Amino acid sequence: MNFSIRLKKLRDGKKMNQQEVADNLGIARTTYASYEQGKREPDHETLVKIANFFEVTVDYLLGHQPNSKPVVHEEKAPYKVTDDPDLQIAFKDASDFSEEARRQAIDFINYLKEKEKAKGRRSPNAESD
């Protein structure tokens, strides 16, 4: 799949029109349209902006990578787990665990949750079970 096709698929996936994407990238709609039509290719700086906007790698855009796994930005979590700084550090550190260690950590957390539930305590983040 070439660059222009990938670009259109990414835009369609975001349910945006060409003008909206162009505005987000700070380029003219006609320029963006020419990328999708395969008439022009962006310069390196614009290519990086496009990759960042769609949260994919430049390699994916250029066809060097087969899938569009999103780029994970370490400083940007998908949601906030807790306000407790110690737990935030623990969760961040756990991202370096092996798959087995992660599974054990999750099992231990579930064990503690059940233990607290048996004592009649509820997690402050828990919704009604």
Q: What is the CATH number of the domain that holds 9?
A: 1.10.260.40
> How many structural domains are present in the chain?
2
Higher pLDDT: 71 or 117? It is 117
Residue 31 is assigned to a structural domain of this protein: yes
Based on the fold, state whether residues 94 and 47 are members of the same structural domain. Answer: no
Residue 2: what pLDDT?
A: 87
Residue 66 is assigned to a structural domain of this protein: no
Residue 128: what pLDDT?
A: 46
Count Cβ atoms within 10 A of the Cβ of residue 93 and give its class: 0-12 exposed, 13-18 middle, 19 or more buried.
exposed
Based on the fold, state whether residues 77 and 57 are members of the same structural domain. Answer: no
Give me 10's structure tokens.
């990414």
Based on the fold, state whether residues 12 and 57 are members of the same structural domain. Answer: yes
Residue 74 has pLDDT above 50, yes or no: no
Please check whether residue 45 is in contact with residue 38, taking contact to mean a CB–CB distance below 8 angstroms. no
Based on the fold, state whether residues 91 and 127 are members of the same structural domain. Answer: yes
CA distance 31 to 41: 9
Range of weakest confidence among 5-19, 98-112, 113-127: 113-127
